Structure 1
Amino acid sequence: MAAVDNETGSRDGWRGGATTRLEAFVDAAFAFAVTLLVISAERIPDSVESLLVALKQVPAFAAGFALLALFWYAHVRWSRNYRLDGAIATLLSLLLVFLVLVYVYPLRLLLGTFFAWISGGWLPMPLSNITGAKQIAFVFYGLAFASMPACMGGLYLLAWCRRARLGLDDGAAATAAGEVAAYVYFCAVGLLSATVVLLLPAHAAPWQVAIPGSLYFLLSLTGLVHMLGRRAALRRLGGVAVQEAANA
């Protein structure tokens, strides 16, 4: 059976049951962002041909939906696990909402471009002037992608700094530190991709153009980064405990 939190009576380690107004607002904003990724944004398909074109956008829609869901669920887990309020937590959550709504458009363009590229043009290409637009879109995407994990990292850093007030044990506090490390790594990958785009020559070879997007495969190492950050936090907390025992 799921464990029951002693403080609130909630299950699975959640600290609260009722949804706050801020959480409801964040949920609604993410839902609105998903609607901007709909299959056919211009008009409802009125023929078999236009329906097929719309359906070809499903892979890009699914990938974009998965990325938005990733950040939405990250905020859900943070909200339920720590139940922090105050000016800093509110501002970071609202900034995350703002960035999500800005992030939707380059996300849709780049994912559509990616699937058109790997399908050899069978899937529709959303960018008409791909030579000039791709670089701008990749830089914008990298900056937006780095900004959203920065917000989540800030929220988990706030939980780490207030671990005593929240009554977190060493394991829970170390998990928050691991989340901070993981989101810092997310930021680094996004900024690295944007930097590589800016360093590409004007007439880059196809393999060079593929480098910025390929760098996002480094995110597969996020679990390792989280584990290392958690272990480092546990060592620090253990050292603090030993020092406090010595002082006593």
Structure 2
Amino acid sequence: MAPVTPTQARTGAPEAPRTLDRREGPYGEVVLRQRGGPGTDGPGTPAAPVIYEIIANGCFLMDTSDGRSERLLIDAALDALPAGRAHPSVLIGGLGVGFSLARAARQPRWGRIVVVEREEAVIDWHRTGPLSAVSADALADPRTGILHTDLVAHLRTEAVRDTYDALCLDIDNGPDWTVTEDNDSLYSPDGLAACRDRLTPGGVLAVWSAQPSPAFEEALRNAGFSGVHTEEIPVVRGVPDVVHLARKGA
């Protein structure tokens, strides 16, 4: 949730965002917007904090106003791994605004860090655009690799059999609120089986969601995962953001 700017405090009206880039891709439209910055609130007022937003097909995905739950996605997965596992590998599903990648790269315990992102525009915004402020150090880390491909297709590609110690997935607003219909299959029995197959024994699946989903927890158990539980991050208004966690059998 974005903080209240001086304009909002004076008028009660939400600040109008500025569109920085708009792209049409194979999955629809993606937009990068900015709130805040110099001149936002008129002459003589301090510059409001800069907040970047990613919008996909008119649906708000995420912004740079907080990032606690995106960092929790990485922290909780690392904490849930078996003790003593040295230099575990992690696949991050969705580059987003870069908080999860940046968190992983700051933790020396992680070994290989692979990010799967299907939107070329999002990758560009990190490599040469405004979001480099979040991810530049992480992208320069020799452990980091970026795959420009669809996560769901990648997990199910028989020709690619890489396995990981952790899958940290954040490509939707949650299992019950997907960005595109194609993503629904990720949370189906077949999709969860594909996730399980890509994990090493004892590996952890972590899935970000904008709201708790008891039905998804049950789906994880039915898919053969153990240790299923949910960690929450309170938000200013509404239900908490959550990370669903589950472990593959040893």
TM-score of the superposed pair, with normalisation by structure 2: 0.23
Higher strand share: 2
Look at both structures and tell me which one has the larger radius of gyration over its CA atoms: 1
Higher helix share: 1
